[in-house]
Amino acid sequence: MPLNSARPRFTDNACDTVSVERFNMDTEDRGYLLQGIQKHRYPKSVFFIVGNEFCERFSYYGMRTILSLYLVDILRYNEDSATLIYHAFAMFCYFFPLFGAILSDCYLGKFKTIFYLSLVYAAGNIVISSSSSPLFGVDHKRFFSLLGLLLIAVGTGGIKPCVSSFGGDQFVLPQQAKQLAQFFSLFYFSINAGSLLSTYLTPVLRHDVQCFGEDTCFPLAFGVPALLMVIALIIFLLGKKQYVCKNPEGNIVVDVSKCVSHAVCQKVQSAEKKEHWLDHSVDRFGQGLVNDTKAAMAILWMFLPLPFFWALYDQQGSRWTFQATRMDGRLGPFTIKPDQMQVVNPFLILTFIPLFDSVVYPALARCHLLTRPLQRLSVGGLLAALAFLVSAFVEMKLEATYPVLPKAGISHLRIFNGLDCAVDVQSSIATLNGRVASLDSLPLVDIPLTDSAQYTLNFTTLNCPQLKNVNFTGAVTLTEAQAVSLFLHSTLGVPTASQVPGFDAVQKDSVNPIIRVLFTTPPKQEVLKLTQDGYSKNIVLHNNTFNTLPVQVLKTGRFELELGGNKLVSNVELNPAGIYTLIVNSDYNDKIEANLVTVTPPNSVHMLWLLPQYIIITAAEIMFSITGLDFSFTQAPVSMKSLISAAWLLTTAFGNLIVVIVAEVQFFESQVHEFILFAVLMVIDMVIFIFMALNYKYYNPNSNSSSSKEIPAEKQND
């Protein structure tokens, strides 16, 4: 056999499109080839591809880590809508790989596909970073942010099936099969390294940096991933002269689709009976493709229950992140940010992979347990269900700390007393009668109400130094399903009851404490300063009003108070996500008194209680995702690798679609019940999968295929 006839012919030009002959050699020919060819150098071009992948994964995970909080805090979506958008975005990210593979294999080739779609990808990052600035109104922010997410989904999804296989194209096979395996290990490491670093860094940029007059800096937090995507594109182009590129050879997905559709049509139209319905396509597509399609269909059948795992797994970035916002992240001098909890997953992945390979699986094998891939897949799914049962338990603990919100048919009224004495309250509504102490508030009052109504309340001061037993009245307008406040204060020595403008913000929408000030001050502008270890927050008390708007404080703990240059006697303690009202009473003699009233209790359940569910879901991922990749790769016929890879990615897309449907339908008001629903459905799903697996027969795909044998360069991850 001539040596040159068995080798692929590559040119030395810059990413020239070349003709590549597939390997179709028997054992003797291959041995001759290995003995007759000098050792090939490790292709330097793959380091550009690995560098590109590191930056691209940094960009993707960095953006995705803060996405849920951006949708809620900046775009003002509620948590259900934010969950829907987040998982719709994730669904498209895993749906577009199918089109990226077709575009690459049929039209452009891998290099041009990666290059063009990376431009779309970078543009999406730039759009979402720009639109997150205060220069845009909320409506424009929403439009351009969603446009940016769509562009990112097209970009990251389109290049997903191309990058790793393009790296595999740089190796000469079968001579460099070992080096190819090393490349995939390095490639996988770059994915998790980029994910680990960005998942930690972008929440810091979001929370700890202030820009454009805002307490947070989403433009920078999105801007750094955008910059990394531009760097990824530059790194990719720097290796252009060293890449080996291959001609588009057609896409097996298209071929299989034609084969299946032709078989269906022939079966309907023909009365001839075949052993298998796909055999109707043999006359047109050949026995090899038909046999490979049969094998692929068996694997695709096993894939049907798998999307539900991803429905649970991908909620780490949505429901579990929202769960973390309602928890206390303080850990000594360090504060864990809610979106930073996602860093646990890539960290544990890097830890668990060698642990499972060297300890867990060998130990189970000695007991004859989990020796087959489908067994591990089943246990991985059940572990995901367990993780959601744990998250439901944590959510039950959290519900005790949630604020009491006014519902339909109910209105809430809080009465704050800014006078230096207690006040009796009387009204025609029994629940509004009571006594409110000085610089304190009347406990939360539920008032049955439809639509809105105005009420008159009667007040009597009790032993005030200057206002002894003075009677006065005040009016308050209540609105259904809203909370309002009434402030008792004095104006030039006359007691007054004034309704605080607007509605009270009692729902937690930030991990930072929120504080407003109700004050009785001399008629001049003052500045209330909260200080703690070099950090300060200034709140301006204007002379034409008695209240301030709620403001976020970026620190927690004890603060010193200073008003108009005078330190207040009492310090205040602000804790994570607590909503507070500070009542300040001052007179012309510079006597200042203040008291902090807790409107919404702060987060009290520590964020580390999330660790068990993260540990369990990561163990589930190791047993499910990595095993599933191995099962797909080893069981698929050689000619069907790209088809099965595309189908595996589509299971993630459909898993996110399930979350979108559940979030849209809103089966339950309680998040606990939703978590339990997912856990129960996951168990049912895995029981069905186990019964399907009992009938699956493991086989060597090469023995069922008459198509050309080759060592594929595509082993997809994420």
**pLDDT tens column, 4-51:** 333 333 344 446 444 333 334 444 344 434 444 456 788 888 899 999
Q: What is the mean pLDDT of the chain?
A: 84
pLDDT tier at 148 (50, 70, 90 boundaries)? very high
Which residue, 636, 715, 643, is CA-closest to 257?
Answer: 643
pLDDT of 564 strictly over 80: no
HSE of 116 in the Cβ direction (CA atoms, 13 Å)? 11
Nearest 5°: the CA angle 384, 389, 391 is: 95
**Which residues lie closer than 8 Å to 306 by C-beta, 6 or more apart?**
377, 628, 651, 655, 689
Higher model confidence: residue 713 or residue 16?
16
Helix ranges (H only) for 600-670 are 611-621, 627-635, 641-665
Instruction: Give the pLDDT of residue 31.
Output: 46
Q: What is the pLDDT of residue 36?
A: 43
Distance CA(342)–CA(120), nearest Å, equals: 27
- Tokens 């008291």 map to which residue? 595
Helix spans in 400-510 (H): none
State how far the Cα of 128 lies from the Cα of 66, in Å rounded to an integer.
12
- What whole-number distance in Å separates Cα of residue 168 and Cα of residue 447? 69
Tokens standing for residue 547: 């209240």
Cα separation, 51 vs 45, whole angstroms? 10
Strand, helix or coil for residue 251 = coil
178-208 pLDDT, tens digit per residue, is: 787 678 778 878 888 899 999 999 999 998 8
- Residues pairing with 278 in the sheet: none
Higher pLDDT, 425 or 35: 425
φ, ψ dihedrals at 477, nearest 5°:
-105, 120
Whole-angstrom Cα distance, residue 700 to residue 702?
A: 6
Q: Can you read off the two tokens belonging to residue 568?
A: 């207040």
* Four-point Cα dihedral 486, 488, 490, 496, nearest 10: 60
Banded model confidence at residue 488, pLDDT cuts 50, 70, 90: very high
Among 309, 306, 326, 325, residue whose Cα is nearest residue 388: 309
Query: What percent of the chain shows pLDDT beyond 90?
Result: 43
Query: 552 by DSSP, 3-state: which?
Result: strand
DSSP 8-state secondary structure symbol assigned to residue 354: H
φ, ψ (nearest 5 deg) of residue 248:
-60, 130
Query: In which residue are the tokens 């607007």 written?
Result: 502
pTM: predicted TM-score of the whole model, two decimal places:
0.80
pLDDT at 570: 67
Question: Tell me: the pLDDT tens digits for 72-122?
Answer: 989 989 888 999 999 999 999 999 988 888 888 888 888 999 999 999 999
Q: Is residue 484 very low, low, confident or very high in pLDDT (cuts 50, 70, 90)? A: very high
CB within 8 Å of 301: residues ≥ 6 apart = 692
Q: Rounded to whole angstroms, how far apart are CA atoms 426 and 434?
A: 7
Task: Centre a 10 Å sphere on the Cβ of residue 569 and count the other Cβ atoms it contains.
Answer: 9
How confident is the model at residue 589, as a pLDDT? 58
Spell out the residues 6+ positions from residue 167 whose beta carbon is closer than 8 angstroms to its own: 46, 49, 50, 183, 187, 713
Tell me if 84 sits within 8 A of 314, measured CB to CB.
no
Reply yes or no on whether the pLDDT at 311 is more than 90.
Answer: yes
Contact between 446 and 440 (Cβ < 8 Å)? no
